[in-house]
Amino acid sequence: MTQPRPGWPTFLALPLLHFLSVKLTFLCAYSPENEVVVWLPNAVLLAALLHYRGQRGWLLATLTFSSDLVANLPVFPARQAALLSLINVAEVTLTYLLMRRAGVSPGLERIQDLGKFVVSGPLIGALCGGLLAGTVLRTLDGVSAPYPTLVLLWWFGDGLGLLIYTPLLLALVQPARETVRLRWQDGAVLLFTVALAWLILSGQAEKLGGVSLTPNLLLPSVLYMAVRFGTRWTSLAVALISLATARAQTTGHQPFGDAPPHELILRTQEFILTLSIVGMGFAVLLSEQRALTRGLEDKVRERTQKLEESNSKLGALSATDGLTGIANRRRFDEFLSSEWSHARQSGQSLALALLDVDLFKKYNDHYGHQAGDDCLRLVAQVLNANVRRAGDLVARYGGEEFALVAVAADEPSALAMSHNICQAIQDLGQAHVLSPFGVVTASIGVAVLTPAPGDEDSHEALIRQADQALYQAKARGRNQVVLAGAPSA
């Protein structure tokens, strides 16, 4: 599969998406206490690096650094803004290198990939970024929070942003693997989820029927989406619910009850973490299981097809004469018996021609067995060339004898075809010094019968008449065709 390469549309869209993600973060997840619940922009660069397998990563990093710097300048002094933007790029770069070293698939398609992503990004990468950023933030005027608090705020915000936003961006750029047909149950669940989310996050009702309305009640709906819609739509649901919950908390709706602001931020982050791990973990696990099932079904289908092909080849080999490549005696007997039954039911005639290579034993003794085998192959080729109807059968009857079964053929057509074959064998000009004709020839006996519906005779009667006609052809001097029942010459 060809790896995608970033082009100018990506270079234009990446900084724009990064900048919009900054604005979305400040809109939905920035509290009045200057705490960020989730920081989304870093996921933009990480998703781009994963999707393009690190190709032109330096340029992608430069573009997002520039966008991050533009977003930070109105908030921080120039020196600190540049340092914090560098820390963001370093955090994402470290996460990508750890994921690549761990062999994570770009689309986070396996449950082990999702686990390695969580360790590399939200845990290690975001923590390293927090350790560096805490040092820079301590140099700002008006920042009185202790260093561990600053580290934790950065760590949790960046980690959650990577966790909810990276899978969504990757899912949106990946081709859809399967189409989901909506059912009425899906619409009912979606409507119920939207209504419940509005009640919980808008602050319209704290309790319903004595039950506390907390965002945790949305977890079953996310699990339902994971089962029905796969990773793409589940990641979208997780991101929307996470941002809506963060927005509700930062705007004072307090979906987690009444508590100190910092504790409420922690509760929000804990819920987003649970929602992401449960929802995305379940969706990826089910998607992986479906992929394994499809792979097994494809393998079974492939093995079944190969087995059928092998059986077909074995069947063909069991019905084919190994020397001449035409049907063998077994196939001849089965075909003649079957066509005799069909002729009895339809009232159509059935023609049988038995061919014997003249003086073949002398030919074999004089020219050798190899030459004898070649001679039989030539005769088989002549038979195939002169039998053009799809329903007819050419077979090796035994030794130097061949058989031709013509379905729904009358006496004139059967005789004409047999004469053509007899003449074509002679026209081969295959030398036979012990034959009175000087070349290889053949004698043919033809029999044509129409089985009556109540006739008890079997196809053996047809074989017997054709054999008698063949005997007459040889007795009259060979190299000729005799029709069973015809007057003697």
Q: Pick the catalytic residue from 91, 400, 456, 460.
A: 400
In SS3 terms, the chain reads as CCCCCCCHHHHHHHHHHHHHHHHHHHHHCECCCCCECCCCHHHHHHHHHHHCCCCCHHHHHHHHHHHHHHHHCCCCCHHHHHHHHHHHHHHHHHHHHHHHHCCCCCCCCCHHHHHHHHHHHHHHHHHHHHHHHHHHHCCCCCCCCCHHHHHHHHHHHHHHHHHHHHHHHHHHHCCCCCCCCCCHHHHHHHHHHHHHHHHHHCCCCCEECCEECCHHHHHHHHHHHHHHHHHHHHHHHHHHHHHHHHHHHHCCCCCCCCCCHHHHHHHHHHHHHHHHHHHHHHHHHHHHHHHHHHHHHHHHHHHHHHHHHHHHHHHHHHCECCCCCCECHHHHHHHHHHHHHHHHHHCCCEEEEEEEECCHHHHHHHHCHHHHHHHHHHHHHHHHHHCCCCCCEEEEEECCEEEEEEECCCHHHHHHHHHHHHHHHHHCCCECCCCCCCECCEEEEEEEECCCCCCCCCCHHHHHHHHHHHHHHHHCCCCCEEECCCCCC
Active-site annotation holds for 288: no
Catalytic positions, written as ranges: 400
